[in-house]
Amino acid sequence: MQPFRKRPEIKTTKEYPYNAETPPGLLREHFVTPTNAFYVRNHGDVPEVDPEQYRLKISGHVERPLSLSLEEIQRLPKTDLVSTLYCAGNRRRELMERTPMPGKVAWDVGAAGNARWGGVLLRDVLREAGVEDAARHAAFTGLDKDVESETGEPFGGSVPIERATADGVLLAYEMNGEPLASEHGFPLRVVVGGYVGARSVKWLSEITLRAEPSDNHYQAVEYKIFPPHVTAENADYSGGEMLGEIPLNCVTCAPQNGETPARGPVVVRGYAVAGGDRRVERVEVSADRGRSWTGASLSEEGGPAAWRFWEATLELGPGPREIVARATDSGGATQPETIEEVWNFQGYANNAWHRVSVRVG
Ligand SMILES: Nc1nc2c(c(=O)[nH]1)N[C@H]1C(S)=C(S)[C@@H](COP(=O)(O)O)O[C@H]1N2
Ligand SMILES: [Mo]
């Protein structure tokens, strides 16, 4: 039995707090991921929120602190936007196969999804409050109590004010045409396109405009990148780099590891995501470990912060074969080749070339 209204195929990656991911085949079936197939990343219990009692507080470096009811928020102009949520821990499993990471969720490639969000531009709400010059970061706080780190704090994080006031950053009350499901943040969440999922805070209770980034555990300690030589034992958590923009990434969803496609033309399919305001410009696949590459065809752009689906055909002879995929973004950046280059002890932002091993019959 799945908690919430998830399909039976959705894979539970952690029983408590409930976390689950979409299997690759199902993920690649729908450009807009159905809600009942969408991954869930929770750090605590899903709070039950009474929409009548609900208030969003806006404080810090604002001219007029606000406390808004759901109704007041829903009276503002509505925007609909297709945008991808991408967990910074997606593809951690490949890193864990190299070195175990006790206690970490072993995400395969399905901690990502693309939804149609309905809500108000964060910028419109911030304008009502009046953004002061001293405001450099917008910090978001949720209503859930974190159980993973044992700080007992609510989950939170921040983005720079430039991103908070950019196009396509929503306070969403709808997902795929329906009120947000409880596990996805009912009644209101942030959706920050182009940024790692952790900044899209669910069950949003407060926005604080600050001179500095949020000091929440999930901004100041977790969701930070350390260089490869740093370990859990010697880490100085005042260092490290806070995760922000999604790392450019490209994943093969079909065929999957261990499959046995017939020799001849093999159709390879997947998704690719880019960070910030950049777009996925190109996807290439290789069957000879990157000596030669075949260009993939890309889906239409579904929105400025939506993933792109891709498809390519490779001519494969019999025997064990490795399919490698990589993307290039509109800034001309591409992905690192090896796991070693991206290694970090907390297992974030793995965007090494994605590899799938098959045996061609
Ligand atoms: N309040 C709150 N917001 C949260 C989280 C959380 O645990 N609590 N998890 C974050 C992380 S790490 C991700 S990847 C996304 C996942 O969103 P989803 O569960 O709707 O797929 O929500 C983010 N927002
Ligand atoms: Mo995440």
Share of the chain above pLDDT 70, in %: 99
Ligand 1: residue of 109, 178, 200 to mutate (most ligand atoms within 8 A of CB) is 200
pLDDT of residue 234: 92
- Beta-carbon neighbour count of residue 231 at 10 Å? 11
State the distance from the centre of ligand 2 to the C-alpha of 218, rounded, in angstroms: 10
User: Cβ(201) to ligand 1 under 6 A?
Assistant: yes
User: Cβ(40) to ligand 1 under 6 A?
Assistant: yes
Q: What is the pLDDT of residues 27-81, one digit of tens each?
A: 999 999 999 999 999 999 999 999 999 999 999 999 999 999 999 999 999 999 9
pLDDT of residue 168: 86
What does pTM read for this prediction? 0.97
User: Cβ(180) to ligand 1 under 6 A?
Assistant: no
Query: Is the distance from CB of 253 to CB of 312 less than 8 angstroms?
Result: no
pLDDT of residue 151: 87
Residues lower than pLDDT 70 in the chain: 1-2
Closest atom of ligand 1 relative to the 42 alpha carbon: 7
Instruction: Give the span between the Cα atoms of 329 and 249, in whole angstroms.
Output: 9
| C-alpha gyration radius of the chain | 20
* Tokens encoding 127: 């304008």
Closest ligand relative to 88 C-alpha: 2
pLDDT of residue 152: 87
